[in-house]
Amino acid sequence: MIEPTETESKAALDRFVEVMTLIAREAADDPQKLLDAPHTTPVRRIDEVKAAREPNVRWKTLKRDSSVIASPPQADEAISREKDALRLLRRSSAERTRSSQ
């Protein structure tokens, strides 16, 4: 079920209905195409196991109108703490695995 907010314009809602109708038609004509989605992104399917084991939670510098928005120091500190915590978890998990064998 989809419930749009009141801020959506009629044009946006019409476009949404148009796209949903197209997807329904494609699903009826070629169900495999729907199962193989997404088609227009550089990554076809996300490897969820790899994403869970190797999280990529880096702050990326954004460029907007030739001015650079750098990462705040708190973000760098948080990332460093996250990496330390992940290392400890991996080490602890490896030690438990070795001790149970």
**In terms of domains, do 16 and 35 share one?**
yes
> From CA 4, how far away is CA 7, in angstroms rounded?
8
Which alpha helices (DSSP H) does the chain contain, by range?
10-29, 31-35, 48-53, 73-100
**What is the structure's pLDDT at 29?**
92
Nearest of 53, 58, 42 to residue 86 by alpha carbon: 53
Q: Is 1 domain-assigned?
A: no
**What is the structure's pLDDT at 41?**
66
Q: How many domains does the chain have?
A: 2
**What is the structure's pLDDT at 71?**
55
Q: What is the largest CA-CA distance in the chain?
A: 63
Note down pLDDT in tens along the chain; length 101 residues.
Answer: 778 788 888 898 899 899 899 989 988 998 888 887 777 766 666 778 888 888 877 766 655 554 445 556 666 677 777 888 888 888 888 787 777 77
**What is the structure's pLDDT at 99?**
77
- Helix, strand or coil, per DSSP, at residue 43: coil
**In terms of domains, do 101 and 54 share one?**
yes
Tally Cβ neighbours within 10 Å of residue 57: 10
**In terms of domains, do 90 and 73 share one?**
yes
Q: Which domain holds residue 13?
A: 6-44
